Amino acid sequence: MQDLISVEDLSRGEIENLFSTVDHLRRTPDVFRHALAGRVVCTLFFEPSTRTRLGFEAAAHRLGARVLSVSDMRNTRLELGESLLDTTRMVGFYCDAVVARHVEDGVMHRIKETVRVPLINAGEGQIRHPSQTLIDLYTLHEHFGAIDNLHVGIAGGIRYSRAAKSLIAGLRKFSNIRLHLVDAVQEMDEGTEFPRELGELNGVPALEYSSMKEMIGHVDVVYVVRVQQEKFTDPAAYQRQLNKCRLHRALLSRASPSLVVMHCLPRADELDTDIDDTPQNKYFQQARHGVVVRSAVLLRCLDADSRRGAFGRGKSW
């Protein structure tokens, strides 16, 4: 039985094994069509997310598993002050794997104590989002052949983005990555310090730029992140931050012709649709990989349990 709580828990070898499983799934999908038959996967979203929830649910269905879906737990009796952990424990009794999302940093480790089936983190607070990072890394691996030695730029609301921070943690597994950031300490954050551990990779500090325009010529990949409008009280400050980070077609002329543009979608205004038809667009490819990478995650996490029967609770039932 294996959990997936954070990309930090995976070794480089485990990540590469997972990429091999993805390649295997893509070549011979039918082989896996009943791989999880008789299993029940529960998606338990205390914060709603169509993209990630559907990605995991489609993955479960593609592998023959059944799905219990809790798309928005905010609607339930938890409103009455009842216990989150009683709920997760119960769900753990009901299914063979729990895919959970929650807004609070650190809650997954507490949930883990209540659940005796594999727990898969589908997004946690502002830091962890391992399935997204595996999709992002697989997309880089597919495109570049190797992730080592890349110059990766990130721009947007990095401070509040679990996708960006989890990606940085994932890139640490590879060698000689150089991290480039646009203005990671946003205007709205003035006076607060940007967490140092996010601003460096394996001891090498990130290069910081004051705008996308300045950064784009220096990177192999640019990963654009939503600027969280809802965090700004001053609309003008939001607009200034957006202008600094926003990527549109005209800026591509300043970049290497082999630049790759990534985004975990859906987007707001930070990534112009005029990029969609360019060869730089790899964000649709990321979206395309959403199911197959999560299928590999489910196979990895459920494999050790493969000898359990349909009711799957072994001796304790």
Contacts to a second copy by CB under 8 A: 25-26, 29-30, 32-33, 38, 40, 42, 48-51, 54-55, 57-58, 61-62, 66-73, 75-78, 80-84, 86-87, 89-91, 93-95, 226, 229-230, 265-269, 284, 287-288, 290-292, 295, 309-313, 316-317
CA 121 to chain centre: 9
CB of 285 to a second copy, least distance (A): 9
Of the two residues 193 and 230, which places its CB atom closer to a second copy in the complex? Answer: 230
CB of 193 to a second copy, least distance (A): 27
Distances from the Cα of 173 to the Cαs of 11, 14, 38, 133, 250, in angstroms? 7, 10, 35, 12, 33
Of the two residues 152 and 292, which places its CB atom closer to a second copy in the complex? Answer: 292
CB of 58 to a second copy, least distance (A): 4
What is the rounded distance in angstroms from the CA atom of residue 270 to the CA atom of residue 303?
40
Task: Quickly count: other Cβ atoms within 10 Å of residue 216's Cβ.
Answer: 23
CB of 244 to a second copy, least distance (A): 19
**Contact predicate 56/99, CB 8 Å:** yes
What is the rounded distance in angstroms from the CA atom of residue 317 to the CA atom of residue 315?
5
What is the rounded distance in angstroms from the CA atom of residue 182 to the CA atom of residue 244?
8
CB of 10 to a second copy, least distance (A): 23
Structure tokens at 41: 């996967």
Q: Give the angle subtended at the CA of 42 by the CAs of 109 and 264, to the nearest 5°.
A: 75
Of the two residues 42 and 216, which places its CB atom closer to a second copy in the complex? Answer: 42
SS3 94: helix
Of the two residues 71 and 256, which places its CB atom closer to a second copy in the complex? Answer: 71
Task: Quickly count: other Cβ atoms within 10 Å of residue 117's Cβ.
Answer: 25
CA 277 to chain centre: 24
Of the two residues 249 and 254, which places its CB atom closer to a second copy in the complex? Answer: 249
Of the two residues 17 and 69, which places its CB atom closer to a second copy in the complex? Answer: 69
What is the rounded distance in angstroms from the CA atom of residue 246 to the CA atom of residue 227?
9
Of the two residues 75 and 306, which places its CB atom closer to a second copy in the complex? Answer: 75
CB of 206 to a second copy, least distance (A): 27
**Contact predicate 46/53, CB 8 Å:** no
CB of 176 to a second copy, least distance (A): 30
CA 286 to chain centre: 11
Of the two residues 87 and 280, which places its CB atom closer to a second copy in the complex? Answer: 87
Structure tokens at 209: 């730029």
CB of 125 to a second copy, least distance (A): 16
Phi, psi of 227 (to 5 degrees): -90, 120
What is the rounded distance in angstroms from the CA atom of residue 279 to the CA atom of residue 284?
11
